Each structure stands twice: as structure tokens, then as C-alpha cells.
Structure 1
Amino acid sequence: MVVKILKISRGELIKRINSVLDKIKESNYDAIYLTNPTNIFYLTNISILSTERPFALIIPVDGSPIAFSPSVERNHLEYRNSIAGNIISEIYYYFDYPGEVHPLNKVVNIIKNSKIKSIATDNFMGANSIFGYSGPKLSDLLQKEGINVGNVGEIINEMRLIKSNEEIELIKESGKWAARSIKVAMDLIEENKWDWEISIQASIKVLHEMNKNFSPYLPLREPVGLVVGFRGQVGEFSSYPHALVSERPIRKGDVLGIGAGPEIGGYYSELERTLIFGKPNDKILNYFNKMLELRKEAFNMLRPYLSASAVDKAVMEKAKELKIDEFLRHHTGHGLGLEIHEPPFLDVGYNLELKPGMVVSIEPGIYNNYGGFRHSDTVLITKNGYELLTNFPDNEELIV
């Protein structure tokens, strides 16, 4: 069976790699050494389960990408590389961590044998310090060998700020399925059901639909799991912007927070809605409508070449006008793409200029004793304004 996987094309990956190497050359480095899993994926379409075992991508200026990997990933990494169009030309394996010889000592030999004299890295340690990892500092080991080590800086992160057409299409596809997920979940809401119960039932239904549509659905960066959830935002727990669990089932009159944004080709959208289960009282409806006014203010402000901070400032001023500023708990929005939170941030202290191609969430929220009230949509900054990449009702249709 031929499996068609939605993903960034090999041609775009090569353009990204060449762009990074051009910038590295300008600083007189011979290669780049990366350990950040998201940035490695950005250049290769390859993701593995990060553990204590070091995993790195090395790209010489005058050569092809090299992976340094634990052997536990051998078959998986080769499979993923084939899906990506064999972007990585050479893979060096070590048996395990810490091993008789620490993996980073083996990395030093690879770099030396590649005739690299100067290298830029995103991590002077040479490996991600998670799950108990420790070891010698790669920069110290390399400098002992006469190899200069520098900081790669924000080269890749800056590239990721502006989304390509391919990236935008993947985020749009995620947004389409996010909307479907919330619709399915809303139809399953019943009194005395638990939020996790609805999440599981809705996710199973939507995943079956996605599997049929994509023949099959294959995420590139995470295991298949829940595609829609309440994250514990039920009733009084909806007033916690980042609740984890609810301690009770759903009751009539509850304010509910629900969200979705399944991974498509490594990319995410964010679609969140505040739902009201049963007829709301006047206080709940009042705060729901005031949240919509904050949201409208944010959209009215959103446009290219405006400081990101200006959007947040306008929302904060509107909240003061509505006498609800004491109920704010977070900024107006954040960037989206390979991560569900990434730059740019629509925050009063973040002065980066918004530009066409940037993707952000719009999600001003208010939280008080009556519940949490927050809608979130994924939005593309365009030359003339913005384009919604998620599409779902935001008004009284959300009273279920």
C-alpha cells in the first residue's frame, strides 16, 4: 500500500538547510550542530522520542546532513528518513548511554573526521539534559581538540517566524479537523458525563474519520492520541486557564472550556471555545459577551507592520473600559506552528513587528468565580490584514 503523508516537501527542507548554511558561512563556521528536537524536525521532517540518550544533527557547510543517534532508534530513524526523502545522508549510531565510552566523545571523533574546524551549536552541552542525562560539555571537548565552538543564535527561530505556503496549508488542515473535533465533542456532552469520557469518545470518532480521509492518518511528531479535550475546564475549574483535571462530572449550568488542534505534518492549529451547558444565568452570559468584546478588539487591531505589543495593549485598555481588567490572567495570543506556543507573542512587553506570514492565536480571556471565558482562533497575518485558519461559531450557538 502506498501511504501518502501530509508533510513539508523535500525541496522546501533543502531550501531551509541551505538558508541556514548560508548564514553559518557568513560567520565563518564550517558546520552547525543541533540538539533542539523542534529545530531538527524543521530541517529534516524527522522526530524521535527524546530520552536521556543524546541525539544530534550535524550539517557541514560543504557536506550533507549527519545524524548522531542511539541504536535504539536505528530502524525507526531510517524509516523516518525515507519518509523525509533521505534528507540525512549519513547516520552514526552508538549502543546506549552512558556506555563504556560516553557518546559525546564519539561525537568529537565524527566532527574531527569531517575536517570541521569551527562549529555553531544551539547547545554547548551537546545533548539535552533530560531524564537524568549528564556528561562532559561538548564545547570543552571540542576546544581541547582545537575546534572553535560558537552559538548558532536565533537563526532558525527567526526563519520559523514567517510561515511558508506549505506550512500554512498544514496549519489550515489542522484547523479544519480541530473544528470537526469540537463539533463532535459538543454533540456528546451530557449531564453527569466526565470531560475525559467525552474527549475519548470524540477523539476515537474523529481519528476514525481522519484515518479514512488520509488513508491512514500518520502524525510525524507524536503518537496518535486525544485530538480534542476539555483539560479539566469544567464548571468552577474552567476559571483555571491551564486546568489539568476536573474533580467532578459535568452539570447543568456549567461553563466548559474545550480545545483542539491535531498535528498535521508536524504542525498545529489552536481552536478553543467556551461552551455553556444549559441555560446560562445573566452573570455568566454577561462575562461571555464581554470576552467576545475583547476578542473583537484584538481582531480590529490585528494587521501587518504593527507592534505585537499594540494588540495586547488595546485589549488591556478595552478590559479596563469594560471594568473586567482584574479578571485578565494572560496576554492576547501567541505564535503557532511546529509548537503550540512559539514566538511571536501578543504581549504588552513584546515589541516585534508583525509581518505577513506570521501565525498567531487570538485568545483574550477572563476568569472569575463564574467561570473561565476564552475563545482561541489561529490567525495568519496577511499583506492586507489577517486570515482565519480556524473557523467555528463564537456566539450563542455555543450554548449546548
Structure 2
Amino acid sequence: MTERPQFYRFHQGAEVLPFAAAEYAARLAGLRAIMASKGVEAAVFTSMHNVAYYSGFLYCSFGRQYGLVVTATECVTISAGIDAGQPWRRSYGDNITYTDWQRGNYWRAIRSVTGLGKVIGYEADHMTVAVRMALRDDLQPARLVDIAALTMTQRMHKSPAELDLIRAGAAVADVGGYAIRDSIKPGVREIDVAMAGRDAMELEIARRFPDAEYRDTWVWFQSGINTDGAHNPVTSRALMRGDILSLNTFPMISGYYTALERTLFVGEVDAASLAIWEANVAAHEYGMSLLVPGAKCSDVTAQINDFLEARDLLQYRTFGYGHSFGVLSHYYGREAGLELREDIDTVLEPGMVISMEPMLTIPDGAPGAGGYREHDILFITDDGNEDITGYPYGPAFNVVG
């Protein structure tokens, strides 16, 4: 019987990465400085966001395990045989393919890079109990060091190349927003409007990034009572005149998430709704003015809370006022250290990217019922901020159909 390998290298085709090799070399240099400061000999990453951030490879697990191993000299993605050469073509550094002939080949492939008995860095916020137990059994580490928070801090500070990609993503989100606006009229279903926005964005991404992989771009378009939550899925509800709408476009480019979110109304807006909408727009503009170097996330949150409380609206706030951008999405990744919440004391610095997105939800049956949300993406600069979202907010542009 032919002896089948536990793992091997299957390298075919040329590497095609979202960023230049120098970008990944700089990220790895930052990571290796983190590792050296903590005495870590090998970092074993299992999350989509860190694997993609340090290597460029955005995996699709489909029930299989994937990873990235970084040592002082190596950067190796670990992928399943089902993907053949695609992980190699999308990885900076080396790639090892493990087979499923034997249980545990994933860890054997990792061990071929790390060796046994080393100080291993890992992500405590991503690794399940079962996976951590397997790591201990198969790598027999001298010590485990959680480096998740430190890598998150590194990701929060964007390079010029990242800022360029995020700026392009915001422009793509605007394209989706205009396509959605053009599709709104009474009788059209939420799903039909959402598809128009998604299709427009995917075409624009392909135009701007002809060598990219296209995946994960989506739209949440909500109407009427469906606007009460920020993440309510699309339905087949038909739009009616006077409906409140929530436009949410989310282009994904090589793992990088951007967003546009706007309140609209179909045809007309009643006085009670207009008053709530204008108050939320005022909170949005006030919040954006606060996003400057040296501002503390919790302080910004407190100031917007005071703004809404003075207008007797704070009780309708539904979540924090903004978050970071980068390698993240609705099903992987989050830079939780950069969110506008009461319990986050991070100080804003040039090179950070953050949204301002106040939302008020008025209960069904009350005057002005519905969810109101505006969302812009801002770059923190040396002397203030730059709003990179172009699609207009407010009643003057967004009573449509």
C-alpha cells in the first residue's frame, strides 16, 4: 500500500498578495518585536484576522483547521489539502499543506515548524478549549503566552498602504449606497434593493482590484420595523410610502471591511420622525468633531451621551458610537480595543481609523418609530480627522422614491 504523507508543500502559480512584500515584512518585524518582548519563540495563529494580517491569506475553514506559524526566521501558513495551491499563491512566506489521512496532521505540520518544547504565543480570545488542549498535547510547549491583545494593538495602527485600501473601500461603499438609493420606490422588496447595492459594489471592487479574490461583500437593507436593530437581516418585505429605511453597504476587499450606513425615508417623512432624524444627525456631526488625536474613547462616549440626554433621547441609544476598521468582518475579527464605549479608555492617535455611528431606536407604535443610524469612517490625522465617506447624510438627500 502506498505510504501517504502527513503534510507536504504544494506550490504552484505566482504569489498574488493584497499588499507589497515590504508591507508584510514590516508587519512581521512588529510581531517579532512583540514576541521578543514576551520571550515567545513561535507564534501560532488560528484566527482569520491575524492569519490574513501577517500573511495575506484569508482562509475558508469549512470545518477544517487553518493557521499561521511565525518564528524568528519563518512565516508559514498551514492549510488543508482541499485548497491545493491557492493558499500558497495568497500567502507571504511559506505554505504547508496537511492531509486528512490521519487525525492530527494539522498539528504535525505546525510542529514541523515550531519543534517541541518551545515558548508558544497564541490567541486566547480565539482558541477553543479543545484546540488549546490539542496544542498542549502536540507541541508540548514550555510555556504558553497570550499575545492576542498585543497583536490587536498592532493592527489598530494602520500603515499608509492600509489607509489607501480602506479609502478605496469607503468609495466602493458609496457606490453601493447610490445604487440602493436609485432602487428605492414603493412596492420594491428589501431583497431586491439589497441585491442592487451588492452587485454594484462587487463590480466596482473588480474594477479597482483586478487581481483580488472576490468574496463576502454584502448589504443589509432594512425597512419599517426591520430597522430597529443594526444587524437585522434582509427580508422580502415590500417598501411602502412613508417607510423609514436603513441603508448598510459592506464591501470586503482582501479581508478589509468598510461600511456606509444611512437613514432614509420612502417619499415623505412625518414631523415626529424628522425631529428624531435631525437630532441623530446632530449627534453624528458632534461626535465626528470629537474624534481627534488625544481624545479618549470613553470620554467621547460620555460627551455624546450628554448630548443625547440633554435632548431626552439617551434612553433610545442602542450600542456604542463607533469602532475600528481593518482586517475584520461580521463573522471574524474585531479590534475591540478601539470602540467608542464607556469601558474603553484607548486614546486616539494618528493612523487609527474609526467610525462615528450613533443609532437611536424608537419603539414600534411611538411617534417616529424605527431605527435611525448614520455612519462615516474617519482617519485620525496629526491635527484632527479626515472623513472618507462621501455619500450624503440627512433629510435633504435621503427622502427618496
TM-score range, shorter chain: 0.7 to 0.9
Partner of 2:243: 254
Q: Which moved more, 1:249-258 or 1:327-336?
A: 327-336
Work out whether residues 74 and 93 of structure 1, in 8 Å CA contact, stay in contact via their aligned partners in 2. Answer: yes
CA RMSD of aligned residues (A): 2.7
Structure 2 unaligned blocks of 5 or more: 1-13
Alignment equivalent of 1:80, drawn from 71, 85, 90: 90
> Given the alignment of the two structures, is residue 65 of structure 1 paired with residue 75 of structure 2, yes or no?
yes
> Cα distance 1:229–1:6, how it changes in 2: closer, same or farther (>3 A)?
farther
1:141-179 deviation per Cα after TM superposition (whole angstroms, max 9, x unaligned): 433xx6433322422111011111111111100111111
SS in 1 for 2:378: strand
1:224-254 deviation per Cα after TM superposition (whole angstroms, max 9, x unaligned): 653x441xx2012212232224462110000
Aligned AA for 2:85?
Answer: N
Q: Which moved more, 1:379-388 or 1:332-341?
A: 332-341
Partner of 1:46: 57
Identity of aligned residues (%): 22
Describe how 1:319-338 pairs up with structure 2 within 5 A: 319-338=308-327
1:265-313 deviation per Cα after TM superposition (whole angstroms, max 9, x unaligned): 4322221100111111101111110111111221232211111111111
Work out whether residues 31 and 118 of structure 1, in 8 Å CA contact, stay in contact via their aligned partners in 2. Answer: yes
Alpha-carbon distance between aligned partners in 1 of 2:260 and 2:196, rounded to the nearest angstrom? 19
Partner of 1:223: 215
Describe how 1:371-390 pairs up with structure 2 within 5 A: 371-390=370-389
Alpha-carbon distance between aligned partners in 2 of 1:167 and 1:186, rounded to the nearest angstrom? 29
**What is the TM-score when the length of structure 1 is the normalising length?**
0.86
- Large movers: runs of 4+ above 6 Å: 3-6
Work out whether residues 30 and 116 of structure 1, in 8 Å CA contact, stay in contact via their aligned partners in 2. Answer: no
Count of residues in Structure 1 that have an aligned counterpart in Structure 2: 377
Alignment equivalent of 2:188, drawn from 184, 193, 214: 193
Q: How far is the alpha carbon of 1:111 from its aligned partner?
A: 4.4
Aligned AA for 1:398?
Answer: N
Alignment equivalent of 1:316, drawn from 298, 305, 310: 305
Partner of 1:176: 171
**What is the TM-score when the length of structure 2 is the normalising length?**
0.86
Alpha-carbon distance between aligned partners in 1 of 2:118 and 2:235, rounded to the nearest angstrom? 55
Partner of 2:39: 28
Work out whether residues 44 and 121 of structure 2, in 8 Å CA contact, stay in contact via their aligned partners in 1. Answer: yes
> Cα distance 1:311–1:135, how it changes in 2: closer, same or farther (>3 A)?
closer
Alpha-carbon distance between aligned partners in 2 of 1:136 and 1:206, rounded to the nearest angstrom? 42
Alpha-carbon distance between aligned partners in 2 of 1:110 and 1:237, rounded to the nearest angstrom? 51
Structure 1 unaligned blocks of 5 or more: 82-86
Aligned AA for 1:223?
Answer: R
Alignment equivalent of 2:353, drawn from 326, 348, 359: 359
Aligned AA for 1:274?
Answer: T
Work out whether residues 308 and 346 of structure 1, in 8 Å CA contact, stay in contact via their aligned partners in 2. Answer: yes
1:190-209 deviation per Cα after TM superposition (whole angstroms, max 9, x unaligned): 21111111111333244334
Aligned AA for 2:317?
Answer: L
